Amino acid sequence: MSLNVTLEQVSVNYGGKRALSDITLELEAGKIYGLLGRNGAGKTTLLSLLASYMEPTAGRVRIGGNNPYEHAETMAQVSFIYETNYSEESDKIKGMLQVAERYRPHFDRAYAEELVQLFGLPMNIPIKKFSSGMQSALNAVIGLANRTPVTIFDEVYRGMDAPTREIFYKQLLEDQADHPRTMILSTHLVSEMDYLFEDVVILHKGRMLLKEPIDRLLDRGASITGASAEVDAFVRGMKILNVQQLGGTKSAIVYGEFDEAQRRAAASKGLDIGPVPLQDLFIHLTGEEGSHDNHSEF
């Protein structure tokens, strides 16, 4: 089960500042979305709206057609998983799973216990004694096993080491295939997690910058590699994001789509056209004016 999420001209003010400004966004049911933005872009504010932690100052939020705020049935269909302070939590894992099972109608206890074993979490010590990595893994267990139609992971990997993150990513993809839901992953580990995303949403300074399929976004960038002089001639006049050189070989990352004629022209000059990582495009699209020599507005 999964639900559509829509925001219509949503703005949020607090503390005399505007955290979100005129956000219109639709997240189709059953997809995995990567939510990206620099610090202060408004990501956590947006997710807090979806989790019913606050109401918008203006505009409408709808999940499955309902306003989630103080709507108990809709709120039970949304999980917002984020870094949690368990320093006062004297309960053990069994108690945490019992609470989740009580309040989440789609919670799968058997799957949760399987995940506990996969992550190697101890069953018999209080959660407050867990390492930060264990606490992050426990959050991942609960978020996956909840199987809510809308599942949000906000930097949930914090504290996990690389092998534990790999377990999380693998389980996320496998369980999404078996139990599709609307999944939102907010992260700064863009280069590590980009293969998980179907669509990408980028916020910048409280505004929507873009929302589109990752394949389409990646088509907007390319790396041009070959003899230095040939690369310089080919990329002249293009939006250049980065340049690296080793001896007589140069690689330039450019922003822009290439048609077939350009690709043939590059091949005729011995140039290779390769993909650009999502992280490089994200840095470019959210760069400040003057932050690099070849910046141009999108």
DSSP 61: E
For the segment 185-232, what is each residue's pLDDT rounded down to a tens digit?
A: 999 999 999 999 999 999 999 999 999 999 999 998 899 999 999 999
pLDDT given for residue 270 in this prediction: 95
Share of the chain above pLDDT 90, in %: 81
**Structural domains in the chain, sorted by start:** 5-216 (3.40.50.300), 219-285 (3.30.70)
> How far is Cα of residue 120 from the mean position of the Cα atoms in its chain?
26
Sheet of 249-255: strand order equals 239-246, 249-255, 221-227, 272-274
Angstrom distance (rounded) from CA 274 to CA 150: 35
pLDDT given for residue 295 in this prediction: 33
For the segment 220-229, what is each residue's pLDDT rounded down to a tens digit?
A: 889 999 999 9
Two tokens, residue 123? 């069953």
- In 3D space, the residue among 43, 152, 118, 132 whose CA is nearest the CA of residue 84 turns out to be 132
Mean pLDDT score across all residues of the chain? 91
For the segment 45-82, what is each residue's pLDDT rounded down to a tens digit?
A: 999 999 999 999 999 999 999 999 988 899 999 999 99
Task: Give yes or no for residue 104 having a pLDDT over 80.
Answer: yes
Region label for 153, one of left (φ > 0), alpha (ψ between -120 and 50) or beta (otherwise): beta
Q: 31 with 198: CB under 8 angstroms? A: yes
The HSE-up count of residue 94 (CA atoms within 13 Å, CB side) is 3
pTM for this model (two decimals) = 0.88
